[in-house]
Amino acid sequence: MELKLLKTTEKRYQLLNQMDIYSLEDIVQYYPYRYDIIEETYPSVNDEHIIIEAHVISATKIFFRGKMSRMTFEVEDRYHQQYQVTIFNRHFLRQYLKLNAVITIIGKCQDNRITASDIKIKPIDEIKGIHPIYSIKEGMTQKSFQQYVKKALMMLNGNIESYVPEEMIIKHQLIHKDIALWNIHFPESQNDIKQSLKFLKYEEFLKFQLTMQFIKQRRSCEVGIEKKFEIEKLQSFILSLPFPLTKDQQNVVKEIVDDLRKPQMMYRFLQGDVGSGKTVVSAIALYANYLAGYQGALMAPTEILARQHYQTLISFFKDCNIKIALLTGSLSLKEKDIMYQQIREGEVDIIVGTHALFQKKVQYHQLGFVITDEQHRFGVEQRKAIKNKGNQVDFLIMSATPIPRTLAISMYGDMEVSTIKTMPRGRLPVQTQFIQSSSMKPILKHLKEYLAGGGQCYVICPLVEDSETLDARSASQIAEAMQKYFQNDYRVGLLHGQMKDDEKDEIMKKFQQNDIQILVSTTVVEVGVDVKNANMMVIYNAERFGMSQLHQLRGRIGRGDQQAYCYMMSSSTSKDAIERLKYMEKSQDGFEISMYDLQLRGPGEVLGNRQSGVPTFLIADILKDFPVLQVARDDALYLIDEYRKGLGYQNLIHKIEENLKVNNEYVD
């Protein structure tokens, strides 16, 4: 229903829109982020949280230190117990704290001294209860927003759409949606909140899982291309590789090859730790597709990574009669036109590139297989555009942000999931050390010795230029300082995202050829760049990076059989930051690190936002509520199976189908 039904001011409509509220349904699904529970509570031990009613028995005293204020006064409660109250930065309350004024004090008590966090100028009977607190815009009050919620709930009465069938309500002992929505906004007890959350989280997960499973089952009915090729030729190619496949690589190759040979379209998600060998698997899959007579496309998020994939495939296929092309935005118009013609006429077998692969001018001769690397960096529309360049195209997406298989299956439920955990033989763990410093001085001796031995080093910075607001070392500043320090000994390069693509490529090329020994860079090197001679990395202000990002960065070194060293430098005194960095010292397992990072920062930050195909849930939490997600997945499979058998749930599945037509949240 339209928001205008609220009959409020234009300014309030604008504020609601800024909160992403455009309908009455949006209002009732704008949930409180916490609750203030006010009930009289007396301390049983010192330093315990209290909420008491009392009357003022002394004048207030205020002390200022700069802009800070401290106000003290004395009170007596209804049991004639007296307390001295201190509250900070609330001196404006003085006018209400007259002798005998009845107030409610919230805070901590120790030896009859209360440090108040809040003071309500009302008796406790007038304010006790559970008060929802919403994240609202300035200009909106909690009270006025709650009135809008109440009005919207009354207008929607009987017209609130639910995705939970009555069978599941009974099975899981859930309350109904209209009650859940009322109680989440106007609870009378903590049990009301608990029961509301139980329903709302389950419904959110059930809707998501129904959508995922509906897409998956619909895809399973889509006719694909049954690719036929001689398996012996594929096996010969695998045996010709300069290294044996790990067990996980062998299993994943089998899963992909089986998919390619099926008459259904492939939708597979491949996840693996940094350096686990996903690129080799993608090369084998592209070769199988080539043997079947189809073109393949490999899409990377950056030109640097696309170029590296191109060079890697060239080396893998050096003894094969395969034409590989690199298509990126930095090519000249003439070069692009020539390549467009070659792709269109089938003169190119495998095309590697960036977003340039799905531009309108690119017409494929017979595209049969598409791979996207680092999938969370591409939007849904971008992936659709490249997939739709062919007819019944098989689709593989890869990610180096690994998560446990059970979680991956639940989150990427519309696809089959493959996982590579084992690392190639001969890889030495990267020796990782947290250095509590903002200077390179503690590690300078080791750096000099390492460089003198012919090695190369990455130096990673969070910023490109100096910032007045952020206390962090910039890449430009560090590069300039290192150029001066090493001017007679080593060449220092600077790489960052604000440079033009051809400039970045030139710097990276020089680093790969050892014309540059020290590469100072931002996180532009995070994904995919592979320089086997670079086995030292220094990360400035390491606390500013997420753990999965630090692991990705660290994955750029130790790619060969040499010992690699990673120094994470930080002068942060934050307990959480230090704990995270110390965790990185002891863990090399990307799956463990990713889970730890997910728990700290949430899936949206680590795995990408809605564009990744992972929705932003309104009230449920993928990690904390994972058992509920698993239950919802099982229920979704059951409901869709019953629907397929003609045993009901037509209305529910129809709602899911209609929602998909207008919702761009999921990959299709």
For the segment 362-391, the average pLDDT, to the nearest whole number, is 74
Q: In what order do the strands lie in the sheet with 456-460?
A: 431-435, 565-569, 534-539, 456-460, 518-521, 492-495
For the segment 591-599, the average pLDDT, to the nearest whole number, is 80
269 forms bridges with which residues in the sheet? Answer: 397, 417
Fold exhibited by the domain 231-420: Rossmann fold (3.40.50)
How many whole angstroms separate alpha carbon 481 and alpha carbon 486?
Answer: 9
Q: What is the pLDDT of residue 413?
A: 73
Please say whether the beta carbons of 589 and 169 come within 8 A: no
* Between 493 and 423, the higher pLDDT residue: 493
Please say whether the beta carbons of 250 and 281 come within 8 A: no
Q: Is the pLDDT of residue 332 over 50?
A: yes
Q: Cα 301 vs. chain centroid, distance in angstroms?
A: 16
Phi, psi of 587 (to 5 degrees): -115, 130
The percentage of the chain sitting over the pLDDT mark of 70, rounded to a whole number, equals 91
Q: What is the pLDDT of residue 631?
A: 93
Q: Taking the CA of residue 416 as centre, how many other CA atoms within 13 Å lie in the half-sphere pointing to its CB?
A: 16
Sign of the CA dihedral 438, 441, 445, 450? positive
The percentage of the chain sitting over the pLDDT mark of 90, rounded to a whole number, equals 39
Contacting residues for 362 by C-beta, under 8 A, at least 6 apart: 327, 340, 343, 356, 389
Q: Is the pLDDT of residue 436 over 70?
A: yes
Query: Can you read off the two tokens belonging to residue 137?
Result: 């815009």
Q: Which of 70-74, 336-340, 621-625 shows the lowest per-residue confidence on average (mean pLDDT)? A: 621-625
Q: Taking the CA of residue 106 as centre, how many other CA atoms within 13 Å lie in the half-sphere pointing to its CB?
A: 14
How many whole angstroms separate alpha carbon 337 and alpha carbon 328?
Answer: 12
Q: What is the pLDDT of residue 469?
A: 45
**pTM score of the predicted model:** 0.71
Q: Is the pLDDT of residue 508 over 90?
A: no
Contacting residues for 111 by C-beta, under 8 A, at least 6 apart: 46
Mean pLDDT comparison of 236-250, 424-438, 522-536, highest-scoring range:
236-250
Please say whether the beta carbons of 322 and 283 come within 8 A: no
> Of 82, 83, 80, 76, nearest to 102 (Cα)?
76
DSSP 296-321: EEEE-SSHHHHHHHHHHHHHHTTTS-
Strands 82-88 and 113-120: parallel
- Domain pair 40-127 / 431-587, same fold: no
Q: Is the pLDDT of residue 284 over 90?
A: yes
For the segment 220-234, the average pLDDT, to the nearest whole number, is 86
Q: What is the pLDDT of residue 612?
A: 42
Q: Phi-psi region for residue 304, left (φ > 0), alpha (ψ -120 to 50) or beta?
A: alpha
Running DSSP on this structure, what letter comes out for residue 555? T
How many whole angstroms separate alpha carbon 259 and alpha carbon 394?
Answer: 8
Give, in order, the Cα–Cα distances in Å from 447 to each of 441, 456, 490, 517: 10, 10, 12, 11
431 forms bridges with which residues in the sheet? Answer: 565
Contacting residues for 563 by C-beta, under 8 A, at least 6 apart: 428, 431, 535
* Between 166 and 223, the higher pLDDT residue: 166
Mean pLDDT comparison of 413-422, 442-451, 608-617, highest-scoring range:
442-451
How many whole angstroms separate alpha carbon 387 and alpha carbon 639?
Answer: 30
Q: Is the pLDDT of residue 601 over 70?
A: no
3-class state of residue 614 by DSSP = coil
Architecture of the domain whose range is 40-127: Beta Barrel (2.40)
How many whole angstroms separate alpha carbon 204 and alpha carbon 196?
Answer: 12
Running DSSP on this structure, what letter comes out for residue 137? -
Over residues 119-158, the pLDDT tens digits come to 999 999 888 888 899 988 888 888 889 999 999 999 988 7
Q: What is the pLDDT of residue 615?
A: 53
* Between 39 and 601, the higher pLDDT residue: 39
Running DSSP on this structure, what letter comes out for residue 98? -
List the domain boundaries for the chain: 40-127, 231-420, 431-587
Q: Which of 40-44, 533-537, 563-567 shows the lowest per-residue confidence on average (mean pLDDT)? A: 40-44
Of the candidate CATH numbers 3.30.1160.10, 3.90.1150.10, 3.40.50.300, 3.40.50.1110, the domain formed by 431-587 belongs to 3.40.50.300
Mean pLDDT comparison of 7-11, 86-90, 327-331, 436-440, highest-scoring range:
86-90
Q: Taking the CA of residue 190 as centre, how many other CA atoms within 13 Å lie in the half-sphere pointing to its CB?
A: 6
Q: Is the pLDDT of residue 49 over 70?
A: yes
Q: Is the pLDDT of residue 85 over 80?
A: yes
Over residues 540-562, the pLDDT tens digits come to 999 988 888 888 888 888 877 78
Q: What is the pLDDT of residue 611?
A: 35
Q: What is the pLDDT of residue 140?
A: 86
Q: What is the pLDDT of residue 474?
A: 82
Identify each DSSP E strand in 339-454 by its residue range. Answer: 350-353, 367-372, 394-399, 416-420, 431-435
Mean pLDDT of the chain: 85
